[in-house]
Amino acid sequence: MARVGIVTGGTRGIGEAISLALKEAGVTVAATYAGNDERAREFTERTGIAAYKWDVADHEACLAGCAKVAEDLGPVDILVNNAGITRDGTILKMTYEMWKEVMDTNLGGCFNMAKAVFAGMRDRKWGRIVNIGSINGQAGQYGQVNYAAAKSGIHGFTKALSQEGARAGVTVNAIAPGYIDTDMVAAVPADVLEKIVAKIPVGRLGQAHEIARGVAFLCSEDGGFVTGSTLSINGGQHMY
């Protein structure tokens, strides 16, 4: 029987590439989204992947949403916490709301979703959780104290939760993408983007499918001995 997987923020950008890669690997995928109904409908029509709408920052919505996916598709074996937002600004200009929204979605969403599926994975003695961090959570970034803190928190969350799942066959890993050619990066001013690309040793932005391949491996049977790790896919931009 096919494994069932949830990809949060799974209808566009990196999330869409992950949804497609998992489907290609034989996983029955449910992609979540927060707002754009038209985009989600188009995604489902084009890919055949079911889309479910809820806000990962809403704890109760995550519990209810995951229960609905399990009811529709079967017990959830794979979770990819990809949903993320930015509310950039220096701390002098950053409001508390800008801080809280990013923390609640990017980091809180990982807790909310893991809380909904972890017990079932442990009971069934098999599970894969992959959390999408960021190069900016590893190295920091000017004007992103909220985003960098949330993404850095994901790396700590991953290491701690991996220890709770290891003996039960539940692996928990993270991927830290560098700058990937998505809508989020396209919103960066051209002159700023040029400077960013100049600092990437391979000399280009990454592609969403390059992140998705890493996720697909970590979610596979072959990924069973990898847990608590962060895979950096960033073209050599940040090494440590």
Angle at 100 between CA 192 and CA 58, to 5 degrees: 115
Active site residue 147: yes
What is the spatial distance between Cα 84 and Cα 44, in angstroms, rounded to a whole number?
A: 20
48: left (phi over 0), alpha (psi -120 to 50) or beta: left
Give the position of tokens 């890919």.
Answer: 47
In three state form, how does the secondary structure of the chain look? CCCEEEECCCCCHHHHHHHHHHHHCCCEEEEEECCCHHHHHHHHHHHCCEEEECCCCCHHHHHHHHHHHHHHHCCCCEEEECCCCCCCCCCCCCCHHHHHHHHHHHHHHHHHHHHHHHHHHHHHCCEEEEEECCHHHHHCCCCCHHHHHHHHHHHHHHHHHHHHHHHHCEEEEEEEECCECCHHHHCCCHHHHHHHHHCCCCCCCECHHHHHHHHHHHCCHHHCCCCCCEEEECCCCCCC
Q: In whole angstroms, give the CA distance from residue 157 to residue 172.
A: 9
The catalytically annotated residue of 52, 147, 179, 240 is 147
Q: Which residues are catalytic?
A: 147
